[in-house]
Amino acid sequence: MKKTFQFLRSMRFGILLLALIAACSVVGSVIPQEKGAAWYAQNYTNIHATLLTLGLDHVFKGWFFILILVLLCLNLSLCSILRFRSNVRAWDKPEQAAAALPTLEKLNEADLERVRGYLRERHCRETAVGDALIFCKNSFGRFGTFLTHLAILLTVVFGAAALYTPTVTDQSCLPGEALRMEDGTLIEVESFHIENEEGDLDYESVLRVTLPDGLQSDWRPVSVNHPLAFGHYKIYQQTYGTAGSITVRNNATGGEDDFTLTETCFLTMDGTNGIWYETLYPGYIRDEEGNFTLITSTSGSYTDPVYQLLLAVDGEYTPVLAFPGEDLTVGDMQYLFNDPVEYPGLRIKRTPPLVNALLVASFCLMIAGLYISFFLQPVLVKTDREGYTVSGPKPESMRIELRLLLQQKQEGV
């Protein structure tokens, strides 16, 4: 049992757990997460069954990763508790050890008092051990490693909270429109394109976020692996779609309206005559005889889009294919077919404000712990009737200070 306890709190076990977390992070970054079984079957044809069986489609929510985090928290907790206890128990041991050191710098009584007065002015902690007075500078530095371990533990805990507590919603939004979240936050989509000017796939949206208090972000590009983070929100480019665009004009009155269509609908004025919009195809193939074969899927922008419609006239329905730039007239209504509109599917993640604040605080504590550990290490000065001795992990600076102090007296400064 004792060996098990020692292993659980050992640095070797902690490093092993960190290595496993790094390995899981690599797998979770290489393999897209939470895409659905059909997506993995299509993109990982030969190994999709193995990926799903091992849970590699949701690495960060799998039992294995959660178990690693729990064990790492246990390891860090044991290290922190034991280190704090040892620091408290051994609080005066450095002074006891310093008192046993031989005096290296011999001084007369006046110089010795000058040294002691200087150390008191520097607010060094003073402890009497036998006939010696021990002055300790940066005594709090003994807790630097404890604070660092504690900060790492809190970072893991609050990092896990940031991973598992956010609310996640998937929403589609057409360019020029906006999404209003439950807390009043407004997410606006200025534009979206599947391909850039060079014809390469980049799936980039331009978004702006306005928080309930009125704080507003700039218009920012969002693409795969480059989310927008603002306030308590993080917005990812998750998926995309292409919608039909039809302008309906009333030739009798001159009025017109634009419709962006993502599902089947009936565009009519009288409820009888008009057009049924059914779907939009990304392209077509025409053979030598003039017959069309419609392309049902594509991985990029729609190069030769085709509208599939039903023309409704006096209760009769006629299948029609239309292309951008063409139009159809039914009575006084004219239907003009525009280029399709590409729109993004966004994954919107909102982390509770308290979790973000605690995570930032844990990072600040870690920085403070590292600073104390490296730059505020304790320095002990033993003084007795003969002179003084400086000891500690890095005593050089204090030795130089005291030598300069005594040198200034000799020079009459």
**Predicted local distance difference test score (pLDDT) of residue 411:** 54
What the block records as the tokens of 189 is 């989509």
Q: What's the distance, Cα to Cα, between the start and end of the chain in Å?
A: 65
Name every residue whose Cβ is closer than 8 Å to that of residue 287 and which is 6 or more positions away in sequence: 293
Task: Say how many CA atoms lie within 13 Å of 370 toward its Cβ.
Answer: 8
Q: How far apart are CA 368 and CA 63, in angstroms?
A: 33
**Predicted local distance difference test score (pLDDT) of residue 83:** 72
Q: How far apart are CA 407 and CA 111, in angstroms?
A: 10
Q: How far apart are CA 314 and CA 49, in angstroms?
A: 53
Q: Rounded to two decimals, what is the model's pTM?
A: 0.64
pLDDT along the chain (413 residues), means of 10: 79 88 89 80 84 88 89 85 69 81 90 92 90 90 87 90 88 94 94 86 92 94 90 90 94 91 92 93 83 82 92 91 93 94 93 89 93 90 92 90 82 51
**Predicted local distance difference test score (pLDDT) of residue 296:** 86
For 295-353, the three-class secondary structure string (H helix, E strand, C coil) is ECCCCCCCCCCEEEEEEEECCEEEEEEECCCCEEEECCEEEEECCCEEEEEEEEEECCH
- pLDDT, tens only, 193-204: 998 888 788 889
Residue 98's Cβ-count burial label (10 Å; 0-12, 13-18, 19+) is buried
**Do the strands 167-172 and 178-180 form a parallel or antiparallel pair, or are they unpaired?**
unpaired
Q: In which residue are the tokens 């976020």 written? A: 209
Name every residue whose Cβ is closer than 8 Å to that of residue 244 and which is 6 or more positions away in sequence: 260, 261, 262, 277, 280, 307, 337, 340, 341
Q: In which residue are the tokens 């496993």 written? A: 20
Q: Within 10 Å of residue 111's Cβ, how many Cβ atoms?
A: 18
For 26-78, the three-class secondary structure string (H helix, E strand, C coil) is HHHHHCCCCCCHHHHHHHCCCCHHHHHHHCCCCHHHCHHHHHHHHHHHHHHHH
What the block records as the tokens of 320 is 């029609």
b/e per residue 31-66 (b: at least 16 CB within 10 A): beeebeeeebeeebeeebeebeeeebbebbebeebe
